Amino acid sequence: MITHRLALIAGVAAAVVLAGAAGIPASASVPAGASVAGWSITPSPNPRAGNGLLQAVSCPTTSACTAVGLHVRQSGLGVTLAERRSGGVWTVQSTPNPSGAAASALNGVSCPSGSACTAVGQFFVKSGAELTLAERWDGSKWAIHSIPNPPGARHSFLAAVACASPSSCTAVGGRDTSAGAGLPLAEQWNGRNWHITRTPNPVGSRFSFLNDVSCTAPWSCIAVGAKTDAFGNPLGTVAERWDGARWVIQPAPTSAQAGAGLRGVACTAPSSCTAVGGLNQGPLAERWDGTRWSVQPVPAPAGAQFAQLNSVSCAVSSCEAVGGYLDSSGAFVPLGEGWNGAAWHAQPAPNPGRASINYLQGVSCPSPSDCTAVGLGNGFGAGTPITLGERWNGTRWNLEAVPSPIGAAANLLNGIACPATDACVAVGTAGPTRGIFSAEALRWNGRAWHLQQIPTLPGANLNAVSCVTETDCVAVGGSNAGTLAEHWDGKHWTVQPTPKPSGAPAPAFFAVSCATASSCMAVGTSNATGTGGQFVVAEHWDGHAWRVVPAEQHLQRGRVPNLVGLHRGRRLGRRLELDRDVRRAVERQQLAGPAHAHQEHPGRLPGQRLVQVADRLHHDRRHERRHAGRTAQRDHLARAAHPHPAGHPRRRHRQRVLHLAIGLHRHRASFRSPSRLSPADPRGAVERGAVAHPAHPASSRSWRHE
């Protein structure tokens, strides 16, 4: 509802990281006989990796800097982070977190001296309420300060703080109201306690908030921010001035300009301030001369799009501002802009390797030739976030070695199989961490989840798993080399060689079903990037090797197939003739030969039912054509509900891939209508889940009410 800088600030970042690290499976199979009284969350471990993001920095001298932000522990808990540079080396500091906090973060910091720093932010409690947070560094340790929250506010945060002296600090942010609106928030520290000061709300805005503040004296502060309508659309900038007694709104030239917002401000005197932010057209800078605000032209780098400035720091007559932009190659990279007293000019800022969506959030300049900027790599959910630091030497920006504390890696569980009530296997992907994806597997023993050691390949991603028994599972996915299959024998995971279909670029599996230890079918697509031809990929495991199963192609070249996962044998793509594919594939694999015509062996469709299955598929295809609108809507919702990290295109189609295994390896009960389920059948209690059959744990069934 309320957003500031680029993330609200660390609160949203915490949610993004936690969502990737929490290990919540996309779909689940519950063994028959298990309790269906209700769902409960079971904690799951996360792969280890260095992570962190830095939101602000304060350098009282050229030899001392303190940066603050957020770190995610391996448990998935988002906690406060502070790092200090002394003697040219950054080290992580121990910071406290509020008791019982579900997540906490520091967004702003101000250090009037090398032994006194104040940091502010917010934390979340288990009820979902968001509360303000303040911590203070006394030269030896960090301690939490008691700070009030606005009465009646369920969500309140502090985005920035400015300390004119160790005993005088002003913090700003935002709060909500019982009516659902958002208002600016300001609090002040007088050396003994914090207290709230009243801030006016800009006329005509539904939400308004303050992103940054700068104070040249306890009685002289400037705060800047933005305002939005009820839908979160930017309506213009906000600037307020503290005169020692009250806050007053200042007219700004972009106060009513759509898309405009101010994110940072720096004052060298009460009559000399510079504020930065962004417009729809690019970066924004404004200057306060003691009487009025005026816009300053800011050149964006050649080919830049969506350029934004997040922070600014001024020393004497020069300023440095930092942010990020989308370059001509499509990468989001750090941005530096310098003010020389007469004009702004773009400065190249180095982009860290093996990370994407990188930007700078805060900057502090103790002198014109010495500035330190901090931020993060792998922002906006692009992977495991890493701390980013750069330093300006008066001529150019250089990367700094800023540690990322060991914690949870960004990860996602894509598939699960439960051959018994006390045995489940979940698979997925960890990363990208510094540009590397790796396979992930967890095992449930009836009491807790445990990480398993699993071999991985460059770019590995596991999308699905099927288990015949507790000691026989097959997981499938893709890697940079193509399709990927791994086998669990009860003790170890091993990679199984899979052939690459002829003429199918970049193939990957998205589903697998195993009827027996010697009969598995894996399906997927090739060239998931959407360029060139699109192909259906199917391979069969016969107990010794994987072999390609020819699948009839009905895909238009150069277009991504419409492969919505509609279970129960329905037509899974407007361009696929499933009746023929199923019949021919089943016959090729001899899953229903004459010798098995009257057997009820798991995974085999009786021969006399083949035509019935094909007829059912044909009927369902006609039925779905009459509901094309619903199909398109489900396709849209599936894509929106399961976004995938940039840089790993195969994952973006996991929810849209043809589940041929349903037709090839599901026993006859899988084709019953959900309306025929017995009221006593516990599987009927789950309306939108995938449920494992008691006698055949490898097969599953899904449905949804329409």
Q: Is 552 left (phi over 0), alpha (psi -120 to 50) or beta?
A: beta
Tokens encoding 295: 């816009």
User: For residue 531, is pLDDT > 60?
Assistant: no
Buried-state track 76-115, b at ≥16 Cβ within 10 A, e below 16: bbbbbbbbbbeeeebebbebebbeebbbbbbbbbbbbebe
| pLDDT value, residue 661 | 34
User: For residue 705, is pLDDT > 70?
Assistant: no
User: For residue 623, is pLDDT > 50?
Assistant: no
User: For residue 36, is pLDDT > 90?
Assistant: no
353 versus 320: which is more confidently predicted?
320
- Global pTM? 0.73
User: For residue 252, is pLDDT > 60?
Assistant: yes
Rounded distance between C-alpha atoms, residue 131 and residue 42, angstroms: 26
| pLDDT value, residue 532 | 56
Return the domain boundaries, the chain: 48-408, 411-701
pLDDT tens digits, residue range 83-139? Answer: 999 999 999 999 999 999 999 999 999 999 999 999 999 999 999 999 999 999 999
Residue 535 identity = F
Rounded distance between C-alpha atoms, residue 396 and residue 381, angstroms: 29
| pLDDT value, residue 413 | 96
**Can you say whether the dihedral through the CA atoms of 455, 456, 457, 458 is positive or negative?**
negative
| Angle formed at CA 589 by CA 587 and CA 595, multiple of 5 degrees | 70
User: For residue 23, is pLDDT > 70?
Assistant: no
pLDDT tens digits, residue range 470-529? Answer: 999 999 999 999 999 999 999 999 999 999 887 778 899 999 999 999 999 999 988 744
User: For residue 574, is pLDDT > 80?
Assistant: no
Share of the chain above pLDDT 70, in %: 72
User: For residue 283, is pLDDT > 70?
Assistant: yes
| pLDDT value, residue 31 | 41
| Angle formed at CA 698 by CA 697 and CA 700, multiple of 5 degrees | 85
| pLDDT value, residue 280 | 86
Mean pLDDT over the full length of the chain = 78
> What mean pLDDT is predicted for residues 348-359?
90
Domain 48-408 -> CATH class: mainly beta
pLDDT tens digits, residue range 587-602? Answer: 343 333 333 333 333 3
| pLDDT value, residue 504 | 79
